[in-house]
Amino acid sequence: MEAQETSWFYIVAKDSLTSPEMVKQKDELRYKGNDAKLSGIFNEFTISTFKKTARNANSLNRNRTFFVIAEPEGLLDSLLLHASHLFEDGKSIPIEDRKIFEPNDYGLTSTIAQNKGLPVLLDYLDFLGLPQAWYYTTGSRKTVIGISDATVDTTNAEFKGKVKVFRTSMPVNGHGTGVSSIAAGQGDNAYGVPGVCYDCSIYATNYGDFRNFGELEELSNAGARVINCSWAGSYYSENGEQTIKRMFENGTIIVAGAGNRDFSKTKGVKLYYPASYEHVISVSSVMYKHATPKDNIKYEKNGNPYAENIRGYLGRTLGFKNKQQFEDPIIYDLGVATLNAEVDLLAPTMGVFRLPKYAYEGVIEYVGSEATSTATPFVSGTIGLMLSLNPCLPVEEIEPILKLSSTNIDHIEANKRFKGLYGAGILNTGKAIKLLYDLYTEDAIAVISDQHFSRWKFQVRAFSEAVHIQKQSFTESAQLRLTAKNRIVVGTNTVLRPNKEGNIQLKIDHSLEKECDLELRED
């Protein structure tokens, strides 16, 4: 456990050229620069980390932000007070947020680890909480993620020795390789960038046939617990839905892109498959990067201002009702990512690193659109982490945990027009893995909070010391079936008021037993 007097913090320099000269002596850093004030401050502390990072930085201070670990406490305050000629702002990191792990290829947002991979901005992985998730698990070779998205380049270092190819197809602009890199590209290998479940294995096949999904069932029968489908079609097949039902009963869950069709054409009612079948998690797209619209103002040729990739908003760009003050943002370009009532979760797309572009052309490039093919493997990879942490997790508990831990975006005014069409909100991998760990760890307290559900069935078991439900609501047709071995505590600002179509069952069962031996670990 981290010593109480150790401080972790971010600090922002006034100038991007500021970079204190530090050298390592044994297990600490010593200042070797010529600034007398800095020398006097640093001599009072033991500093183990002082490095530039893009994490917690916005567009204005991205090249001026440092991550620092020092002891005893007080370095942040001393720098802001006595070295104000160099530093202008800072933020302390609470102890509860220090449970993180970073692989050695964690790009420009790395803090603890030295990046030996590509100089790529991985702020979307920060946004999804991957360092927090990797603290508990980085995946397992025994956990297999199925990729049904064209050919995977098995010669690339991200996939060597971890991919079994069942069926091949003609490459489609590196589609299969790109999807696979997000879900399970190898991490901590001093190359490229890490995938979500980077120690997981991959079973690769071609696209589904849209009628029977025999390729998918082949992967399920071979042991794939989650299968990614970054493709969609408008054709409904009863045989296809029955195949998916069999796979679900076999312990395999399908994750599929909701589709890529302009909202002006779909009106939120057009369904695409397999995403809209029962027992499939449908994924659409959301913006993630900039904290507020004012953080990324751009201008059209006619002078009209707009904002791009703003955190929590649907679509890809925003306009403004008040163009002079950049106030009252409205969704300016919703893009092509499909929204409908069958969507379950959202994940980033625009701004995500494109591995195929680098692998085939040597170019570092980021996705410039919001197509759901990119969003889908973030969810598939997260499920891979869940099943690596808890190999015996029942398939019916996967989607509830993902939704219970997701980030709600109902409060954003511009999103309200589409409420009910974008699922539970944004995937939060870090919170999902922590919630799963806490639910299945005897001395932990699992917390369900900060979400509002008016539909869906949530079937969850808890073996923890207690489950706390707080600032949470289950209304209308929502169903919550929570069985806990010990205690359930219903806290403040919690609403459990479903209608006749919904149901709330809170049950204590002291005889509740795990279905098999679990290897939960805290590394």
Which tens digit of pLDDT belongs to each residue from 256-304? 999 999 898 999 999 999 999 999 999 999 999 999 999 999 999 999 9
Does residue 173 carry a pLDDT above 70?
no
Q: Which amino acid is at 520?
A: L
| pLDDT of amino acid 343 | 98
> Where are the strands (E) in 123-200, listed by range?
144-148, 163-165
Q: Each residue of 402-441: pLDDT tens digit?
A: 999 999 999 999 999 999 999 999 999 999 999 999 999 9
CATH 3.40.50.2000 correct for 123-286+341-404: no
Comma-separated ranges of CATH 3.40.50.200 domains in the chain: 123-286+341-404
Sign of CA dihedral 411, 412, 417, 419: negative
Take residue 243 and report the two structure tokens written for it: 């195949």
Confidence of residue 520 (pLDDT cuts 50, 70, 90): very low
Q: Each residue of 451-497: pLDDT tens digit?
A: 999 999 999 999 999 999 999 999 999 999 999 999 999 999 999 99
**CA pair distance 232, 481, nearest whole angstrom:** 32
H or E element that contains 388: helix 372-389
Over residues 378-399, mean pLDDT: 98
Over residues 323-345, mean pLDDT: 95
| pLDDT of amino acid 172 | 58
Name, in order, each residue with C-beta under 8 angstroms of 402's C-beta and a sequence gap of 6 or more: 281, 344, 345, 379, 382, 383, 424, 427, 432
What order do you get walking across the sheet with 163-165 strand by strand? 163-165, 201-205, 144-148, 226-229, 253-257, 280-286, 345-348
pTM of the model: 0.95
Does residue 394 carry a pLDDT above 60?
yes
Give 310-372 as a DSSP string: BTT-SSSEEEEEETTTTEEEEEEE--SB---TT--EEEE-TT-B-HHHHHHH----B--S--H
Name, in order, each residue with C-beta under 8 angstroms of 147's C-beta and a sequence gap of 6 or more: 176, 179, 180, 183, 184, 202, 203, 204, 205, 227, 228, 377
Over residues 501-518, mean pLDDT: 88
- % of the chain exceeding 90 in pLDDT: 89
> Contact, 370 vs 350, CB < 8 A?
yes
| pLDDT of amino acid 518 | 42
